[in-house]
Amino acid sequence: MSSEATFDLGAQVEAARSLALSAIANAPDAAAVSKIGSDLANKKSALNTLRSGLGKIQDQEARKMAGQLINESAQEIDRALQQRIAEFLIIERAAQVAGEGIDLTEFVSPNRRGYSHIVTQAMERLEDVFIGLGFQVAEGPEVETDFYNFEALNMPRTHPARSEFDTMFIEPFSVEHEANTVLLRTHTSPVQIRVMQTWEPPIYAVMPGRVFRRDTPDATHMPVFHQIEGLVIDRDITFAHLAGIIESFTKAFFGNEFTSRLRPSFFPFTEPSAEFDIKRHNGDWIELGGCGMVHPNVLRAGGIDPDVFTGFAFGFGIDRMAKERHNVEDIREMYTNDLRFLRQFS
């Protein structure tokens, strides 16, 4: 074989070498590099073909040099293959770790403040509005005696109005000490008596709280619910003051587009008595509660001289107001403590 032919072989080895090296350098991933490796190992690969042609070189020295050239190229290509595969393994491993990793850094949620139940919200707003009208807030016990819940409110034991209050008794009603019979208050009206007994007139008070009746729960009733009571005792208080306060309260609490009206009614503890309704312009009248001029017997039970002082009282339910305001379908939903329900009103 001439040196011409050897030189030609050298150029072919060089071409095969640079082709293989650039293929390795441009391979997109480890699998592609492996594929190049196995293609190069194939008997018909460029270098292997050249290798198998070595036997045709007559000159021993030239054959040896050509063989060495091919081997060196093959080794260089092999190193490039290994190195490239190793690089890809590192990259792929890093990607795998990043993908499978679990972030164990603690997620610190911002401090969330609690918030009041919608009935509490309504109660607090009612208090605010009445405080704005010059009233003070008073509270009384939920466990009451027959005297405060009924008798002092002009409902002696035989009074037919008692049957309207489905009372839950703590102890059996006893004829011997009927006035001291212990029960769960059926309305907030007994707090009127307690306020009259302890405060000096003039009295301008609202008394919110929980009340109890033997009612089976349904969409509009609960055996435990809330009322707010109002009481004004002063000199020369008339029915006009009552109507004025109800109207002022209606506008302050529900908005200026609301108005109120009084309808004649009956309550044992007021005379005359009325029920009051509210209405938005063009809306329907919504019944809200009861009111009236405090009955002289009630003033006397509270230790107040009916010849010196007169007054008015009113009372209404808070739960139903909150229910209407927030369009709650079923009043029982307000007491199941389902957070999904409660969080709507945060």
Sites of contact with ligand DAH (CB under 6 A) = 187, 189, 229, 267, 269-270, 289-292, 313-315
The pair of structure tokens assigned to 54 is: 């070595």
- Angstrom distance (rounded) from CA 305 to CA 312: 14
User: Is 315 within 8 Å of 290 (Cβ atoms)?
Assistant: yes
Identity of residue 83: Q
Kindly report the number of other CB atoms within 10 A of residue 212's CB atom: 21
Q: State whether the Cα torsion 325-329-331-334 is positive or negative.
A: negative
3-state secondary structure of 242: helix
Tell me which residue has tokens 């972030």.
103
Cite the beta strand spans of the chain per DSSP E.
Answer: 136-137, 143-145, 182-184, 203-212, 224-234, 258-267, 270-280, 286-294, 310-317
CB of 187 to ligand DAH, least distance (A): 3
- Angstrom distance (rounded) from CA 76 to CA 13: 12
- Angstrom distance (rounded) from CA 296 to CA 304: 9
Identity of residue 9: L
CB of 231 to ligand DAH, least distance (A): 7
- Angstrom distance (rounded) from CA 282 to CA 258: 10
Q: State whether the Cα torsion 335-341-345-346 is positive or negative.
A: positive
CB of 165 to ligand DAH, least distance (A): 7
- Angstrom distance (rounded) from CA 52 to CA 67: 10
3-state secondary structure of 123: helix
